[in-house]
Structure 1
Amino acid sequence: MNAQTPHMKADIPPQMIGAQNAPFGKVERMISRRYLGAKKKDGGVGLIAALSFICIMLAVAAMIIIMSIMNGFRGEMIRLTIGSEGHMYVASSSPQPTPDSVAQLERRVATVEGIEKVFEMTQANTMVQTSSGVTGVQVIGITPASMKDFALISDNLVLGSLDGFGEGRGQDNQVAMGSGVARQLNVTAGDTVVVYSPRVRASPMGSTPIRKTFTVGAIYEIGLLQADTLYMYMGLEQAQLLFNDGKTDGTLQIRLDNPDEIDAMVQKVANAAGEPLFIETWRDRNQSTATALRTEQIVMRMIFMIVVIIATFPVLSAMIMLVKNKSRDIAVLRTIGATQAGILRIFLMSGAAIGVLGTLAGLIFGILFCLNIEPIQKAIEFVSGAPLFPADVYGLSGIIPVKIVWTEVLGVAFWGFLITTLATYLPARNASKIDPVDALRYE
């Protein structure tokens, strides 16, 4: 045994001889670092440690990139799916709400923090006719001021303008419709359309449907099938006259700063209203979409958690090899005073260092990738010669949407560190239980 001591002396710091090492102190850190970076001739695992670092870095970076892109796509899908609708609909439980009571309710609800916009509206399904044909539409009544503030519509006009929306007498009163509706009716800005009401009036010839002629003031194209092929916007006053005999139904459309906070906002709105309400959310109206998005989030996070677990296998292999190659050194350390806990800490720090550094590098790489997604996408498209996400197919602006959720980034960092630490613990524990007598018996 004494003959082997000089050979292993390089792996034993002089400070250890005759001294008790402090937990996670300088000596333990020095030995841990030396073992982790040991060369092949010294029985080290430097190459495997480097490969383990790269695996963890890429797994963590991929998890952040994919989750951020998924969050971006999810936000874009929600924006397009419910962008032409509201995030929440509120209606007074009063059987006959007055314009004044609705206005007061609107002012109270507008004070809730997290609400971007709230306005009175009405909607009805009906038929629209021109000389070219008839088609079914959903007429949405909205005030001219709210319509002009409706960025999803006002920023996507293809013909006409909203300057005269809801204004004009008789058939000159202007409406706005989707491009799909305009194509079905074969109309353009400036043409007239006849809108039918579900109500009827008595006449000598029997009951006849009520109808009114309007002028198409604007045509928009959002890129969402339902909004472009079904919706037509009309001034609130005209819509109430045509569909509800001039009465208000007291419905408010609410748009939130963050649609994902809809559950918390429901109670806040109910508290601010100060009266019983009928509340309907975008999730209620789009249950299949909301369920699909939520399921996708859960499944993808589980998949990438498994990917991070798989990425720790090289760390586990490296630590098993390190313990096997350093069994004689462990025995010598034990004979000169190192405790089982000290050996455990030395090898635990070696493996955890790979995990911590790999996780930090993956975080930095993933965040930088997300922050520079546009030039990266353009570089890939330049090399491939084709767009990654054609706007006409995906309904996007052409740039991959990315949304970094910092709580998720912290969760990824914690998960990467936790898994690598757990993968290191078992080999480190085995190292601490090596019997120095058995390890040096045949030396």
Structure 2
Amino acid sequence: MSFETLIALRYVRAKRQESFISFISLVSVIGIALGVAALIIVLSVMNGFQKEIRTKMLGVASHLEASGVNGQLADWGLVQKALAGDPRVVATAPFVNAQGLLSSAGSVRGALIRGIDPAQEPGVVDVGEHMVVGKLTDLKPGGFGIVMGVEMARALGVGVGDKVNLITPEGQFTPAGMLPRLKTFTVAGLFKVGMFEYDSGFAMIDLSDAQRLFRLGGNVSGVRVKLTELMQAPQVKHDLYARVPDNVVLTDWTDMNASYFRAVQIEKRMMTIILTLIVAVAAFNLVSTLVMVVTDKRADIAILRTLGASPGSIMRIFMLQGALSGVIGTVSGVAGGVLIALNLDRIVPVIEAVLGTKLLSSDVYMIDHLPSDVQFADVSTIAIIALLLAFFATLYPSWRAARMQPAEALRYE
């Protein structure tokens, strides 16, 4: 171990006569640790939020959809077979999408109505795994059953076995004028995917019932597709165009939710910049700390110079001292931030119990808990940035110490 390292370690451990310097040094280390920990926790929460929302969205939506240019797909059986021929496609299922009003006992709710094939639908989405009461196979052709979210059922005041009226926007001409089409359905099941938007505004009926109700004949709105790798959806979509007719439009999950995921990405980038500035402020507190240390150690520097230490050695001593403070702060921040981020599911309920309030409301934030996803790439990037900032903060004080002349330093000793 070089003498520069030994002296730097001694300066870090030493109890100086000027306690204020020690206090400023401690504050700098704590500031770096808190900034690093905060950055890790915030990015982990944002990663978790994005992952959780994506998972819940794809629990109801699909990786990819093939639909007709006019909103209807006639030869959907051939399209489904063509899509299933790609080895990256896991499953396919036809669907009908439409808007409607559900009413019961004076309560009315707007809803997205989806006609599904109960046998094929579980292959493309996992709504069936979130059923609270009943199951998708309870939807029978001609039975006019309906499965809806628990929040919608609560708003309508209905449960399994109760009747609801479905009013479609496509009216019918009668001698009395245009009248809306209305059909009574029986609630066959309830689901809860954990995303308020779907739990309160989404319902499913049998595919043949939807075709009859919305006057589609044998047509469907399109075919939904599940892929082996959801992140490959844009590339798979591009390749599948060669398999389907020209009148088929392919849309992947990134197209359907582009604005949301773009907003999350921008927010994550801005939060990274803001919290990095906090780390930078803490790191550059090392400048004032090291300047005061250099002033405090003028005599030591002069003695080392007279003993033969070069200006470069003096500079390395104080650079190592500042770098050690940066390393201690960064390591402490990384350890604390990762530990908290990994245990947020235990920490948040305690905070909620102490405050007597719920931090996340599902009707505002789309989910009702605080997710966390610690990613190694984020943690390593944050640690490297903090260490670099701490290193750059040592350059000026170290250079100033190296330029100090022994005679000038000892003049007033």
TM-score normalised by the shorter chain: which range applies?
0.7 to 0.9
Q: Secondary structure at the match of 1:305?
A: helix
Q: Which whole-Å CA distance do the structure 1 matches of 2:240 and 2:303 have between them?
A: 72
Q: Report the number of matched residues.
A: 407
Question: Match of 2:320, as an amino acid?
Answer: M
Q: Secondary structure at the match of 1:274?
A: coil
Pairs within 5 Å for 1:126-165: 126-128=100-102, 136-148=110-122, 150-152=125-127, 154-157=129-132, 160-162=133-135, 164-165=137-138
Q: How does the TM-score come out when normalised to structure 2?
A: 0.81
Candidates 239, 261, 268, aligned match of 1:297 = 268
Contact 2:59 2:126 in 1 (8 A): no
Match of 2:37 in 1: 61
Candidates 394, 402, 414, aligned match of 2:384 = 414
Structure 1 unmatched runs, 5+: 1-24
Match of 1:40 in 2: 16
Match of 2:218 in 1: 246
Q: Secondary structure at the match of 2:203?
A: strand
C-alpha displacement of 1:406? 1.6
Pairs within 5 Å for 1:77-226: 77-79=53-55, 83-91=59-67, 98-108=75-85, 111=88, 119-128=93-102, 136-148=110-122, 150-152=125-127, 154-157=129-132, 160-162=133-135, 164-168=137-141, 170=142, 172-179=143-150, 181-182=152-153, 187-193=158-164, 195=166, 213-222=184-193, 224-226=195-197
Q: Which moved more, 1:148-157 or 1:410-419?
A: 148-157
Q: Which whole-Å CA distance do the structure 1 matches of 2:227 and 2:261 have between them?
A: 17
Q: How does the TM-score come out when normalised to structure 1?
A: 0.76
Q: Which whole-Å CA distance do the structure 2 matches of 1:439 and 1:365 have between them?
A: 42
Q: Secondary structure at the match of 2:115?
A: strand
Q: Secondary structure at the match of 2:138?
A: coil
Q: Deviations over 1:123-177 (max 9, x none)?
A: 01234566757654321122213545644464252xx411543315x3x242212
Relative to 1, partners in 2 of residues 1:248 and 1:371: Cα closer, same or farther, differing over 3 Å?
A: same
Structure 2 unmatched runs, 5+: none
Contact 2:59 2:193 in 1 (8 A): no
Match of 1:50 in 2: 26
Structure of greater Rg: 1
Aligned-pair Cα RMSD in Å: 3.8
Q: Which whole-Å CA distance do the structure 1 matches of 2:92 and 2:321 have between them?
A: 57
C-alpha displacement of 1:62? 1.8
Match of 1:439 in 2: 409
Q: Which whole-Å CA distance do the structure 1 matches of 2:122 and 2:213 have between them?
A: 22
Contact 1:35 1:44 in 2 (8 A): no
Q: Deviations over 1:349-402 (max 9, x none)?
A: 1100110121011111111112222333344445x2624436666678865321
Match of 2:334 in 1: 363
Q: Which whole-Å CA distance do the structure 1 matches of 2:168 and 2:360 have between them?
A: 40
Q: Secondary structure at the match of 1:177?
A: strand
Q: Deviations over 1:321-372 (max 9, x none)?
A: 1211223332333333323322222211110011012101111111111222
Candidates 218, 225, 233, aligned match of 1:265 = 233
